[in-house]
Amino acid sequence: MQKLKLEATEGEHDEADSEQEAPRTVKKPAKYTQKAQESDDSKVQTSSDGEKFVELGKAKRVTVRNFKGSTLIDIREFYTDKETGDAKPGKKGISLTPEQWQELKQATPTLDALVAEISKK
């Protein structure tokens, strides 16, 4: 536990100046806020930075962002910063251009068939 030094107020004795062990209660800031928008049963959320994203699971997100003048679809793992409690992007991920995103969407039926084929084994 972390030791905190309490400040003495009027009428208190010197014992308030001694270090006492106090429980650490830190309220974590909200990692994201829910948005009322829905498309294809996916809930669009907004990060503390104002970026819109769709959560793919506990630690994975798809974010559409503007980076150096280019629109990118960013699929990335996130981790929780121990100091601030904020969700921060990890190293694992990929950024797709809109053209690559369209190719991925067009390949979805083929990928679904491959997943089904592997799942049968």
Domains annotated for the chain, with CATH where assigned, are 32-120 (2.30.31.10)
CA 61 to chain CA centroid, Å, is 7
pLDDT tens string 84-119? 888 888 888 999 999 999 999 999 999 999 999 998
The Cα–Cα gap between 100 and 106 comes to 10
Q: Which residues of the chain have pLDDT under 50?
A: 8, 10, 12, 14-18, 26-39
Instruction: Quote the pLDDT of residue 100.
Output: 96
Instruction: Quote the pLDDT of residue 91.
Output: 86
Of the candidates 52, 66, 115, 58, the one whose C-alpha atom is nearest the C-alpha of residue 95 is 66
Q: What is the pTM of this model?
A: 0.58
Listed in sequence order, the residues at least 6 apart from 21 whose beta carbon sits closer than 8 Å to its beta carbon are 1, 3, 4
